[in-house]
């Protein structure tokens, strides 16, 4: 199967009962500002080319963002920050993301998450993370020929991804490297992989100044260079 085949299967996934119930309830009840829109209300697939050299790994779709629009980080404040930074460093053709047909394209970059359905309070359970891992395993396997660098947004994604990278054939040091903003680890493999840590683009981090646009752009630019973009 190809990455588009995988994405087509993913959007029908119903393996996590709590998340299926939540994503559909949010899609039905909606937020007042979006009451005229039809919410996606399903698993949100990764976004970006199937031969990406740079992979960005978040946490899970936002209830009224990706779960509404059907595209990662599209239509929420976290995405506003992320896509503005991707555009600033030349990895996105435009600084904004509002809907699946807004014309946004990424250069050599794909965005995904270890959990593909919006969770209550943005907090998936360990069981949900482990259940969704099948998709991340498959995505990494399909991207292995081209991926050269990964930016992980936040500790949840970091901890979810390291075992996946190990199983996909890269050597993950023991003890496993700790997450931190600015962390940079080179993993040996058939082809080496540069792993970068970055604080998550959540409002909790961006409103408080814990993560500034400049900090995010620095990590993305470094990772883009490491990926040969
Ligand atoms: Fe399926 Fe992942 Fe959604 Fe669970 S979180 S229902 S495994 S797509």
Q: What is the DSSP letter of 53?
A: S
Complex ipTM > 0.90: yes
In the predicted model, what is the mean pLDDT of the chain? 97
The alpha carbon of residue 136 and the mean position of all alpha carbons in its chain are separated, in whole angstroms, by: 10
Of 229, 200, 190, the residue nearest 113 (C-alpha): 200
Q: Please give the distance, rounded to the nearest whole angstrom, from the Cα atom of residue 12 to the centre of ligand 1.
A: 9
Q: Which of 142, 180, 131, 116 is nearest to 55 (CA)?
A: 142
Q: Name the percent of the chain lying above pLDDT 70.
A: 100
Ligand 1 and 128: CB distance under 6 A: yes
CB of 115 sitting under 6 A from ligand 1: yes
Mean pLDDT of 105-117: 98
Model pLDDT, residue 14: 98
Q: Is the CB of residue 43 below 6 angstroms from any atom belonging to ligand 1? A: yes
Q: Is the distance from CB of 67 to CB of 39 less than 8 angstroms?
A: yes
Q: Give the CATH number of domain 3-226.
A: 3.40.470.10
Predicted structure pTM score? 0.98
114-161: pLDDT as tens digits? 999 999 999 999 999 999 999 999 999 999 999 999 999 999 999 999
Residue 177: DSSP 8-state: P
How far is it, in rounded angstroms, from Cα 48 to Cα 112? 9
Going by alpha carbons, the residue nearest to atom 2 of ligand 1 is: 132
Q: How confident is the model at residue 208 (pLDDT cuts 50, 70, 90)?
A: very high
Average pLDDT over residues 17-24: 98
Q: Are 59 and 122 in contact (CB under 8 A)?
A: yes
pLDDT value of residue 141: 96
Q: How far apart are CA 210 and CA 229, in angstroms?
A: 27
Cα 117 to averaged position of ligand 1 atoms, centre (Å): 6
Better-scored residue on pLDDT, 190 or 98: 98
Helix axes 77-88, 213-226, angle to 10 degrees: 50
The sign of the torsion formed by the CA atoms of 95, 99, 102, 106 equals positive
Q: Which residue has the tokens 């960005």?
A: 56
Q: What is the mean pLDDT of residues 67-72?
A: 98
Classified as helix, coil or strand, 185 is strand
């Amino acid at each position: 199967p190809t990455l588009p085949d995988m994405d087509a299967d993913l959007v029908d996934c119903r393996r996590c009962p709590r998340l299926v119930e939540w994503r559909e309830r949010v899609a039905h009840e909606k937020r007042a500002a979006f009451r005229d829109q039809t919410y996606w209300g399903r698993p949100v697939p990764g976004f970006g080319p199937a031969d990406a050299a740079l992979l960005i790994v978040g946490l899970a779709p936002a209830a009224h963002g990706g779960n509404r629009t059907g595209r990662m980080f599209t239509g929420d404040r976290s995405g506003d920050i992320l896509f503005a930074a991707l555009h600033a460093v030349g990895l996105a053709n435009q600084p904004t993301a509002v809907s699946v047909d807004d014309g946004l394209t990424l250069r050599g970059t794909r965005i995904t998450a270890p959990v593909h359905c919006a969770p209550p309070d943005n907090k998936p359970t360990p069981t949900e993370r482990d259940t969704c891992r099948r998709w991340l395993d498959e995505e990494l396997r399909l991207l292995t020929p081209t991926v050269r660098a990964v930016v992980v947004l936040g500790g949840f994604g970091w901890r979810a991804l390291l075992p996946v990278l190990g199983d996909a054939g890269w050597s993950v040091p023991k003890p496993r490297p700790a997450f931190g903003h600015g962390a940079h680890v080179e993993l040996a493999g058939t082809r080496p992989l540069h792993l970068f840590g970055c604080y998550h683009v959540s409002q909790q981090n961006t409103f408080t100044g814990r993560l500034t646009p400049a900090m995010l752009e620095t990590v993305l630019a470094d990772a883009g260079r490491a990926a040969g973009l």
